[in-house]
Every structure is written in structure tokens, then in C-alpha cells.
């Protein structure tokens, strides 16, 4: 029992399929109501897809587990309706400090730029995120969330997969046209399908302790290499909601996990760190090891894997839950187009392609961090300590200090959904990039660009004066909205003005859009439903926009 949190017990209802003859067929089933499965089910329902979400438990995550939620994840959570709840409850932070022995050697700022809605990172216990997601799921009539519904077998067939499900009220079968598997690192479904993941297992153990204390530590990430209170190992400190602090001690491979979890072992470690006088309560303790592995592909016919079920990383960099939620963001709009018959099934191969690429980047970065934090040889340790020693005085060495490269979205530059640039652009908003945010106004009201993008395809067309837009061109823009795959055109302009045909005008009063997107009057950005850039040009050309839209949905011939 935690002192700061009591777990909700969610009601279970008798599944209507129990005792019925025949097997009911539904378009979409998601297995696993963790952060990834819940996000996927909510996003699918928001896209208008009826979805059944099955979970074998009736509560949220035990223990705080995933703690850091990155800016890009918050933007996705905003789109699916839980961003505010998370940011209000969580602890926002941007600064991380790294210490070597007694001294600070390096600090970083995740978000040195002004004018973004969300901070670089929030810390929030995973159970809060899940609770907010469950609440959001309950608001959506298309989402049928079933607790204590355990999938005991899965039989894929050409046009779906049939599940056997056990519940406290009896068993039933259900055929899913499509199945999203988000049942975590030890995925039972992956096992039932005899699919494996490849990669590395790391021989090290870490102790996580969540403690409650009134403390004056700032809302920053503090990381120690070889501190006096835990010599030879690393320690990480994070502040979470409710005055709960996460402390992560490296223990080494030889440590006995059961022994290390005992309060009489844990409390002296924490006292050595915090000082004998500081009062604290031990909230939750766990000892973990980790692996960096992924499945070869995330799509197996009608079965789609997401989150830890598909790929696992070391915890350094908070790239687990964050990347899983980005999987869901990438997947749901594609699934909707395929289910609506507006895109071929091969669009879902691009889910696998894009998210395998992202998983490899996450695995690479978290492996590099692990190798720096826990050197595996005398030579590695020498290099590591040389970097930390030089870092006090020299900027080049500070750039090499790797205490975790925190979760940032991948630039999906190699995706076949992108239309390569034919015009010259500066900056990072290349085809395949997740959009940068920018403050804007519409009809005199301030808003954030990312709050009005996403969920559908959009073209952002930069004009000098919205009122001067030719009526014929405005009608062309409107035509795009009534195509088989609707494309909404919004004008972006430095100054307000009434555009013909009732076109929306986003006013870039601060010029951040122009700056971040290297945009000028004439520039057009084609944006995917997951807020990624699909294509961009210096001049609007309806046929090129249509070609790029076809390419982004695998409809090109």
C-alpha cells in the first residue's frame, strides 16, 4: 500500500459474448491496457473505429515504473485528450545535472528555446498516466474497455485473429479483424505466436526506490557518476508528483536482488545519500535488469505489435513508454485508412518500417548511454573517467558525457511515405520530422500549432496577406478537403485578414513558424495525421500536393 496513492479497482462487466453461439467478429481488438494499449485504443476510437480493449488486471500499474514523459509524448497525449491532466499532476522539468564524485561536471537544458507549449519532460508516476487514460477511455462510446479479460490463445487467420478470452464470469471467443498487441515486455501474445525479439541482455542490476519526503531539491534530473555515498556506481534522482522522489542505484551484477529489496538494506543506502537527518518514507522498491531487443518486424499479417511487446530498451533516456506511445501515434491513423478501404494494407508495413527505424535509434542511444554509465572493461572505465575529468573545463568533453540521451522523436527521413524535397529549405522540418510547435492566433485567440494539427491530413499554406488570396485558388484549396482522403488547408500568415471561402487563417504573430519551418509566403507544408511532415514546397501546386498525399498513404501507382 502506498502512502500517496490508492489504486482504483475498476468494475468488470460480464462480456456479452459469454454463452452466445457463434463467434462475434469485431474490427479491432487491443490487448493490454498499459500506457501504449490505452493510447492506441483511445486514438482508434477518436478516429471513429470501434475498438475492444482487453486487460487481464483491474487496476493501473503497480509501482511508479515509467516516470519520464517527453515533450513529443505530451503532444500526443494532448491530441488524445489527457495532456493537461498529466502536466497538471506531473513535475515539469528541462534541466539535468551530472556529477562526477563530488563535483558537477555538466548540465543540459532539454528545451533551450522559448515558445513551446510543453516542457522538455514531465515526471509522473505511471499509475497516474494510466488512471487518466482509463478515465479518457470511459468518455468514448466506441471504446469497450474490459478488465479481467485474459487472452489465453490467439489463432491468426487470413482476415484477422480469433482470441479465446477468460473472465471471472466465464470464457468466450472473439474474432478481431485487426489485433494490436501491447501487452508489455513479457508479451503473452508474442509468446503464443512463437515470435521472438533479438538483441542484447545487460549484466547489471539496478535498485529503484521511491521515497516520500519534503525536500528542497529543484525539479531537475540529477545524475551521479561514482558519488561518495555510493562509490564505484551511478545514482539517479528524479522528483515525481506528491513529493515522491525516484532514486535509482546501480548495484552491479553480483548483487542479490531479493536481499537488496529489503528495507534494512535500502534505507541505509538512501540515508547515505540524503544525510542522516532527512526524514523520508519508503514508498516502493524494485530491483531490475534490462535488455535492448526488438522484433524483426512489428506487423505480422493482421497482428500489429506496439510498445515493449515489440521492442525493449534500457531505462537510461526514458525511451520505453515514450516510444511505445509514439508507436500508437504512428499506427492508428494508418489503421483507420486501411479499415475504411482508403489505403492498401501495405500502409501498415510502413508502420513497421518507421517504428523499427525509431526502435533502432532508441536502442542505439540507450545502449550507448548504458555503455558510458556502466563501463564493461578497464579501458572503457578509463575513457569514461577521462571524459568526466576533462568535462569540468572543456566543452568538447561535456558533449561526450552520456548520462542518458533523453527521449526525442526520430526523424523518419528514410520513410517511403515522404516526398523528398525538390526545393531548398534550411532547418530541421524535413519530410519525416515530427512537427515543431509554434504559438499562433486564429480569430484573435491564441493557440498552439500542435493543438490544431493532427488527426487528419493538413496543408499549411503560407501567404503574405490572407485577404489577398485569389478566390479561384481558395476554391482549389477547398476541393482538397472533399477528396477521398480529406486534406484541410489552413493559411499561415504574419498578419490577420479574412480569407475567401471561409479558409482558416493561422496568424504567426511571433514569427516562430516562419523561423522553425524556414517558411515564407508561398511555402506549403503537407502534414500527416500524426503531426509529421510528409512533403513541402516553395510554391503551391495542387497536383503535387495530391501526389504527395497519395504517396503518404501508399496510394501511388
Interface positions with another protein (CB under 8 A)? 365, 368, 371-372, 377-380, 383, 387, 389-390, 394-396, 399-400, 402, 405, 408, 411, 413, 428, 433
List the beta bridge partners of residue 440.
447
In degrees and rounded to multiples of 5, residue 257 shows phi and psi of -60, -40
Distance in angstroms (rounded) separating the CA atoms of residues 177 and 493: 44
Short-list 4, 29, 292, CA closest to 154: 29
- Closest to another protein by CB, 187 vs 402, is 402
Shortest Å distance, C-beta 28 to another protein: 34
Shortest Å distance, C-beta 428 to another protein: 6
- Closest to another protein by CB, 243 vs 389, is 389
- Closest to another protein by CB, 310 vs 408, is 408
- Closest to another protein by CB, 167 vs 370, is 370
Shortest Å distance, C-beta 400 to another protein: 5
Distance in angstroms (rounded) separating the CA atoms of residues 524 and 383: 48
- Closest to another protein by CB, 281 vs 428, is 428
Handedness of CA 448, 452, 458, 460 (dihedral sign): negative
Are 539 and 424 contacting, i.e. CB atoms less than 8 angstroms apart? no
Distance in angstroms (rounded) separating the CA atoms of residues 471 and 237: 58
Shortest Å distance, C-beta 289 to another protein: 21
Shortest Å distance, C-beta 358 to another protein: 13
- Closest to another protein by CB, 1 vs 395, is 395
Shortest Å distance, C-beta 334 to another protein: 24
CA-based max dimension of the chain: 77
Four-point Cα dihedral 436, 433, 325, 374, nearest 10? -100
Shortest Å distance, C-beta 433 to another protein: 8
Shortest Å distance, C-beta 399 to another protein: 4
- Which grid cell is 158? 487470413
Shortest Å distance, C-beta 437 to another protein: 16
Handedness of CA 448, 451, 452, 454 (dihedral sign): positive
- Closest to another protein by CB, 106 vs 147, is 106
Short-list 180, 176, 172, 142, CA closest to 26: 176
Shortest Å distance, C-beta 551 to another protein: 21
Shortest Å distance, C-beta 200 to another protein: 13
- Closest to another protein by CB, 60 vs 435, is 435
Instruction: Let me know the angle formed at the C-alpha of 218 by 213 and 220, rounded to the nearest 5 degrees.
Output: 110
Short-list 310, 339, 340, 303, CA closest to 327: 310
Q: Which residue has the cell 491532466?
A: 85
In degrees and rounded to multiples of 5, residue 444 shows phi and psi of 80, 0
- Which grid cell is 26? 469485431
Distance in angstroms (rounded) separating the CA atoms of residues 195 and 192: 8
Shortest Å distance, C-beta 362 to another protein: 12
Are 14 and 145 contacting, i.e. CB atoms less than 8 angstroms apart? no
Q: What strand order describes the sheet that includes 311-312?
A: 103-109, 95-100, 221-225, 234-239, 244-250, 197-212, 281-295, 311-312
Distance in angstroms (rounded) separating the CA atoms of residues 197 and 186: 11
Cα–Cα distances (Å) from 391 to 124, 225, 388, in that order, read 31, 13, 5
- Closest to another protein by CB, 174 vs 387, is 387
Shortest Å distance, C-beta 374 to another protein: 12
Residues with Cβ within 8 Å of residue 187, at least 6 apart in sequence: 32, 181, 305, 308, 309
- Closest to another protein by CB, 83 vs 120, is 120
Short-list 526, 479, 523, CA closest to 501: 479
Look at residue 328 and give its three-state secondary structure. helix
- Closest to another protein by CB, 94 vs 389, is 389
CA end-to-end distance (rounded Å), the chain: 59
- Closest to another protein by CB, 20 vs 413, is 413
- Closest to another protein by CB, 24 vs 394, is 394
Amino acid at each position: 500500500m502506498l502512502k500517496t496513492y490508492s489504486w482504483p479497482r475498476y468494475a468488470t462487466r460480464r462480456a456479452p459474448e459469454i454463452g452466445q453461439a457463434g463467434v462475434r467478429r469485431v474490427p479491432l481488438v487491443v490487448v493490454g491496457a498499459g500506457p501504449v494499449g490505452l493510447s492506441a485504443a483511445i486514438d482508434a476510437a477518436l478516429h471513429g473505429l470501434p475498438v475492444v480493449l482487453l486487460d487481464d488486471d483491474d487496476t493501473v500499474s503497480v509501482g511508479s515504473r515509467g516516470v519520464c514523459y517527453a515533450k513529443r509524448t505530451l503532444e500526443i497525449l494532448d491530441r488524445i485528450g489527457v495532456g493537461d491532466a498529466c502536466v497538471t499532476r506531473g513535475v515539469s522539468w528541462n534541466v539535468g545535472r551530472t556529477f562526477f564524485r563530488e563535483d558537477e561536471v555538466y548540465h543540459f537544458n532539454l528545451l533551450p528555446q522559448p515558445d513551446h507549449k510543453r516542457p522538455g519532460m514531465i515526471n509522473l508516476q505511471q499509475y497516474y498516466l494510466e488512471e487518466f487514460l482509463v478515465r479518457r477511455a470511459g468518455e468514448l462510446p466506441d471504446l469497450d474497455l474490459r478488465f479481467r479479460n485474459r487472452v489465453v490463445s490467439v489463432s491468426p487467420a487470413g482476415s484477422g485473429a480469433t482470441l479465446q478470452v477468460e473472465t471471472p464470469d466465464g470464457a468466450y471467443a472473439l474474432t478481431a479483424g485487426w489485433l494490436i498487441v501491447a501487452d508489455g515486455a513479457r508479451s503473452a501474445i508474442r509468446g503464443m505466436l512463437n515470435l521472438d525479439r533479438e538483441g542484447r541482455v545487460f549484466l547489471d542490476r539496478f535498485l529503484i526506490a521511491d521515497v516520500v519526503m519534503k525536500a528542497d531539491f529543484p525539479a531537475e534530473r540529477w545524475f551521479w557518476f561514482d558519488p561518495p555515498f555510493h562509490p564505484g556506481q551511478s545514482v539517479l534522482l528524479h522528483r515525481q508528483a506528491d513529493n515522491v522522489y525516484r532514486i535509482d542505484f546501480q548495484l552491479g551484477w553480483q548483487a542479490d536482488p531479493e536481499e537488496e529489496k529489503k528495507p534494512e538494506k535500502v534505507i541505509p543506502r538512501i540515508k547515505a545519500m540524503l544525510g542522516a537527518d532527512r526524514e523520508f518514507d519508503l514508498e516502493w522498491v524494485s530491483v531490475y535488469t534490462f535488455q535492448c531487443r526488438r522484433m524483426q518486424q512489428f506487423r505480422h499479417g493482421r497482428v500489429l505489435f506496439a510498445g515493449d511487446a515489440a521492442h525493449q530498451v534500457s531505462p537510461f533516456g526514458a525511451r520505453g513508454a515514450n516510444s511505445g506511445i509514439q508507436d500508437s501515434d504512428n499506427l492508428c491513423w494508418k489503421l483507420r485508412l486501411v479499415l475504411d478501404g482508403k489505403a492498401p494494407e501495405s500502409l501498415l508495413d510502413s508502420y513497421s518500417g518507421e517504428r523499427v527505424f525509431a526502435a533502432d535509434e532508441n536502442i542505439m542511444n540507450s545502449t550507448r548511454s548504458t555503455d558510458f554509465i556502466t563501463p564493461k572493461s578497464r579501458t572503457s572505465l578509463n575513457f569514461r573517467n577521462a571524459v568526466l575529468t576533462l568535462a569540468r573545463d572543456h566543452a568538447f568533453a561535456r558533449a561526450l558525457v552520456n548520462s542518458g540521451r533523453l527521449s526525442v522523436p526520430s526523424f523518419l527521413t528514410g520513410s517511403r511515405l515522404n516526398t523528398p524535397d525538390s526545393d531548398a529549405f534550411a532547418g530541421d522540418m524535413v519530410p519525416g520530422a515530427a512537427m515543431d510547435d509554434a504559438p499562433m492566433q486564429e480569430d484573435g485567440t491564441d493557440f498552439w500549432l500542435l493543438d490544431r494539427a493532427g488527426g487528419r491530413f493538413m496543408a499549411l499554406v503560407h501567404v503574405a496577406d490572407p485577404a489577398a488570396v485569389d478566390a479561384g485558388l481558395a476554391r482549389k484549396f477547398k476541393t482538397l478537403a472533399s477528396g477521398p482522403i480529406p486534406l484541410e488547408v489552413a493559411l499561415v500568415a504574419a498578419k490577420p485578414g479574412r480569407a475567401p471561402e471561409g479558409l482558416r487563417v493561422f496568424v504567426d504573430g511571433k514569427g516562430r513558424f516562419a523561423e522553425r519551418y524556414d517558411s515564407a509566403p508561398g511555402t506549403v507544408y503537407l502534414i500527416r495525421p500524426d503531426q509529421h511532415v510528409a512533403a513541402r514546397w516553395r510554391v503551391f501546386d495542387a497536383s503535387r500536393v495530391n501526389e504527395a498525399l497519395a504517396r503518404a498513404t501508399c496510394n501511388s501507382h
